Amino acid sequence: MKVVIAHSPDSDDAFMHFAIGEGKVDTGEYQFDHMMADIETLNRHAVEGRHEVTAISIHAYAHLSDQYALLNHGASMGEGYGPLLITKEPRTREDLTDQVIAVPGEWTSAALALKLWMPEAKTEVVPFDEIMQRIDSGEFEAGVIIHEGQVTYEDEGYHSVVDFGEWWARTQDGLPLPLGGNAIRRDLGETHIREISKILRESIAYALEHREEALQYAEQYNRGLTREQTDQFVGMYVNQRTLDYGEDGREAVCRFLRMGAGSGAVPEVAEPEFIV
């Protein structure tokens, strides 16, 4: 059975799926193909149910829960860190009240975090890898960055207005900030869902147990990071939390969605079932 795994072309996702791509785990009757695109594209593909397994934003899950179930592994969680709102010159929240802020996708968790932090924010969607340069050019005063920019923005001369992971932890009882999850299409049926889930979890576990080998593979997707920065970035988003959300991680997802619905930013959704 052919199964497409859709994910971002990032070193952390490459690290996570390395063992499947390189034949390090037994995939049984399943043939896995990888499809890579930015997270907002994957969110939109999921509306069509295009891929059997896909990375999605937790924000997007509120729109997709009828078609996809969240797996209990494969999550990206900010443990006191996360997407950042950045500017070229030091700015405060008040300075940005009337400014249009660049966000990396309407359904990204970064965009929802911004709306929870600053409900009055005016936003415009910009490809995630163009946000810094478009701030630099003066087109935008501020933008929300995700992916590798989180570890390079200071070196590139930008200032942080807020780290949404730090803000979330401080205001939400120390909970991690839910960012992305792996989702599986419900119409595959219970047997396929459980078997595919097991293989995907084994891939994550293999990478964590063979870190240097997996990092070497992931480096080809690091978009200009040094080996040390790649190691840092992968460690931020692929760790023991990626093997299991944990009780607090699952609570964080539910709270993020409830708060989003309460603010009117996302539709109300039943609390997700996390497929083991």
Domain residue extents for the chain:
2-77+179-275, 84-171
Average pLDDT in the 162-179 region? 98
**pLDDT at residue 273 tops 90:** no
Cβ neighbour number for residue 251 with a 10 Å cutoff: 17
Catalytic residue numbers? Answer: 147
What is the C-alpha to C-alpha distance for residues 75 and 36, in angstroms, rounded to an integer? Answer: 17
**pLDDT at residue 33 tops 90:** yes
- Top CATH class of 84-171 equals alpha beta
- 8 Å CB contact between 104 and 40: yes
Q: In this predicted model, what pLDDT tens digit does every residue of 39-63 receive, in sequence order?
A: 999 999 999 999 999 999 999 999 9
* Confidence band for 130, pLDDT divided at 50, 70 and 90: very high
* Confidence band for 34, pLDDT divided at 50, 70 and 90: very high
Structure tokens at 189: 């049926």
Which residue matches tokens 């097991």?
198
If DSSP codes are grouped into helix, strand and coil, which group holds residue 176?
coil
pLDDT at residue 223, rounded to an integer: 84
Structure tokens at 38: 């930015």
**Whole-angstrom Cα Rg for the chain:** 18
Q: pLDDT above 90 covers what percent of the chain?
A: 97
- 8 Å CB contact between 23 and 71: no
Q: In this predicted model, what pLDDT tens digit does every residue of 51-108 receive, in sequence order?
A: 999 999 999 999 999 999 999 999 999 999 999 999 999 999 999 999 999 999 999 9
pLDDT at residue 90, rounded to an integer: 97
pTM: 0.96
* Confidence band for 25, pLDDT divided at 50, 70 and 90: very high
**pLDDT at residue 222 tops 90:** no
**pLDDT at residue 173 tops 90:** yes
If DSSP codes are grouped into helix, strand and coil, which group holds residue 209?
helix
What is the C-alpha to C-alpha distance for residues 204 and 19, in angstroms, rounded to an integer? Answer: 8
Q: pLDDT above 70 covers what percent of the chain?
A: 100
Which CATH number is 2-77+179-275's, of 3.40.50.1820, 3.40.605.10, 3.40.720.10, 3.40.190.10?
Answer: 3.40.190.10
* 2-77+179-275 matches 84-171 in fold: yes
pLDDT at residue 224, rounded to an integer: 83
Which residues are bridge partners to 145 per DSSP?
A: 84
